[in-house]
């Protein structure tokens, strides 16, 4: 991992989600009315979250899960309702505070919300890790290295999403760059599924892991692809 590019990118993401776009994300992750573009993003994120939870399974009793990049906590809440103990972490303390405010009482004893680096060893070991839309702003090599660090503390599976490298997404990113700076997220880093697979195959720390399922979700301005890695 290039520590300089990873740290710089992480700082940009933290600034965006903790300062620039808090109000927008609070609204996007609620039931409040939004414009057509953000409605398509909301629908896509809901579809992706549901699919990742389906991959985890209906009964998560006794499982310890890391929700890496938890945002306002929707996935963590549903995983806890399926019986899991969840550590939910995000770079943005403000979004984590919002997640705590929204946390239903019936899962309060099974979710720990915290802000910080998802790679921190102090978070402990897990059965499953879910990183939904939390590595999409990193270069492919840095993203795979980050996942490899998580793999060292994960016993069963890692589910993550990335922005697929397609002409349509490239055009949409170009359009997004025309938005006022205050409305823009840090640039997405489109990734090739084959490039991810090649890096995984050549990474010493991932020798005991294999790629399993993959699925792409396309909903208006939301274009994301999920991958599942399993320990073999």
What total number of domains does the chain contain?
1
| pLDDT given for residue 171 in this prediction | 63
| pLDDT at 18 > cutoff 80 | no
Residue 227 phi/psi, 5-degree rounding, is -130, 150
| pLDDT given for residue 178 in this prediction | 47
pLDDT in tens, 171-218: 655 555 545 555 455 678 899 999 999 999 999 999 999 999 999 999
pLDDT in tens, 70-97: 999 999 999 999 999 999 999 999 999 9
* Reported confidence tier of residue 166, pLDDT bands at 50, 70, 90: confident
Domain that holds residue 157: 3-231
How high is the mean pLDDT of the chain?
Answer: 90
Query: What is the CATH classification number for the domain harbouring 43?
Result: 3.40.50.150
> What is 1-68 written as a DSSP string?
--HHHHHHHHHHHHHIIIIISHHHHHHHTSSS---HHHHHHHHHHHHHHHHHHHHH-S--TT-EEEEE
């Amino acid at each position: 991992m290039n520590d300089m590019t990873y740290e710089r990118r992480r700082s940009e993401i933290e600034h965006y989600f903790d300062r620039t776009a808090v109000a927008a994300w609070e609204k996007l992750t609620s039931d409040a009315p939004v414009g057509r573009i953000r409605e398509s993003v909301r629908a896509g994120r809901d579809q992706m979250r549901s699919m990742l939870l389906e991959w985890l399974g209906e009964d998560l009793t006794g499982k310890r899960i890391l929700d890496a990049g938890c945002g306002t906590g929707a996935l963590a809440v549903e995983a806890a309702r399926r019986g899991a103990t969840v550590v939910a972490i995000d770079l943005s303390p403000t979004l984590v505070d919002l997640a705590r405010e929204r946390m239903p009482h019936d899962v309060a004893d099974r979710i720990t919300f915290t802000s910080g680096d998802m790679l921190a060893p102090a978070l402990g070991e897990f059965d499953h890790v879910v990183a939904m839309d939390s590595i999409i702003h990193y270069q492919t090599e840095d993203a795979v290295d980050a996942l490899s660090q998580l793999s060292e503390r994960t016993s069963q599976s890692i589910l993550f999403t990335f922005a697929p490298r397609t002409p349509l997404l490239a055009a949409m990113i170009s359009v997004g760059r025309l938005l006022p700076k205050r409305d823009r997220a840090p640039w997405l880093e489109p990734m090739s599924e084959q490039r991810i697979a090649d890096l995984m195959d050549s990474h010493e720390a991932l020798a005991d892991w294999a790629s399993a399922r993959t699925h792409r979700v396309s909903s208006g301005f939301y274009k994301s692809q999920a991958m599942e890695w399993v320990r073999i």
